[in-house]
Amino acid sequence: MHMKIIDGHTHINSSRFIPAEFIQGVAHNMLADSLQKFDRAKINALSTIIHSQMKDHYGDQLVTDMDSANVSKSVLLVPDFSYVFNSADSIDSLAKAHYEICRRHENRFIVFIGVDPRHGSQAILSFKRGIFDYGFKGLKLYPPCGYSSSDPSLYPFYELCAEHNIPVLLHTGPTSPQLTFRYADPFDVDDAARLFPSVNFILAHGGIVNVDAAVQQCQFRPNVYLDISGFSSMSGAEGWVGHLTHLFSRGINHKIIFGTDWPLSSMTETYTSQLTKFVAQDGVMKNCLDLEKEKIMYKNISKLVGETAN
Ligand SMILES: [Zn+2]
């Protein structure tokens, strides 16, 4: 069957949107094996190379890749790093740039806009502008910046989400090493999910890291979902194919959202190659019913954001 696909987790591959300091952390981990001791110059040199290759400022390349992989729409995630990284642009400027990308590629992108609750009332204004003026469809949180997804400072945002039927996607699991991993556990969302039962929460990477905790949330909290973004970088004996085949047998396929984490997943495999392997007849979903496949590939995210897959 021809499968409709929405990629539930991507970013624009642009040095304007992904801060240099974030990439420095990624570079540091890549070099960890070869560095004798902490070497700022080497880390900076590698991160400069990576950053200089992030040139898809208008999403044109991403749309070309989506076309070649039969992906009709992608969710663009725009984390707010401006509270923790000096090199990060303000969320208002990122929001405007992503709105323009949506206009340039009409009907191809769904934006989840970031906030850092420590920006206070300014963050509320920015979030409202994103939702009401720009037509963004979700809230993106990055708790490793230093706040819990259940922190009361986020309740005003969740109230807005409840009122306007807006889902919340939050990063879980490890990330760039300058950030804290303390608030990256799937259980951290528990209070928020219990107190705001009409708001849907998506545990980003929940199918890939801290999987048992994420699956448990999905099984017992009706409003918690997970995505499998970052799957192509999975190591381990069974690789991502073995891992996901197992994940899809755990009875939560109505909660699982397909996503690649492009361009971060570009380090291991091209976009088209990830997609081709994924939807192959004898691939990771071979034991799923057709309806389950549809849910994973587009229906679950479609339902949460109120958008069809074209
Ligand atoms: Zn991501």
Please check the confidence at residue 237 and state whether its pLDDT lies above 80.
Answer: no
Cα–ligand 1 centroid distance for 293 (angstroms): 22
Give the residue-averaged pLDDT of 212-235.
95
> 54 phi and psi, to 5 degrees?
-90, 80
Cα–ligand 1 centroid distance for 264 (angstroms): 7
Please check the confidence at residue 265 and state whether its pLDDT lies above 80.
Answer: no
pLDDT at 307: 87
Give the residue-averaged pLDDT of 135-155.
98
Domains and CATH numbers, the chain: 6-13+55-305 (3.20.20.140), 19-53 (no CATH)
Cβ atoms of residues 88 and 19 within 8 Å:
yes
Residue of 25 and 237 predicted with greater confidence? 25
Cβ atoms of residues 5 and 279 within 8 Å:
yes
Q: Model's pTM, two decimal places?
A: 0.96
Confidence band of 221 (pLDDT split at 50, 70, 90): very high
Cα–ligand 1 centroid distance for 118 (angstroms): 21
Please check the confidence at residue 227 and state whether its pLDDT lies above 80.
Answer: yes
Cα–ligand 1 centroid distance for 251 (angstroms): 25
- For 148-194, the pLDDT digits (tens) are 999 999 999 999 999 999 999 999 999 999 999 999 999 999 999 99
Cα–ligand 1 centroid distance for 269 (angstroms): 16
Cα–ligand 1 centroid distance for 26 (angstroms): 13
- For 80-130, the pLDDT digits (tens) are 999 999 989 999 999 999 999 999 999 999 999 999 999 999 999 999 999
pLDDT at 263: 86
Confidence band of 63 (pLDDT split at 50, 70, 90): very high
Confidence band of 239 (pLDDT split at 50, 70, 90): confident
Cα–ligand 1 centroid distance for 173 (angstroms): 11
pLDDT at 268: 76
Cα–ligand 1 centroid distance for 92 (angstroms): 19
Cα–ligand 1 centroid distance for 172 (angstroms): 10
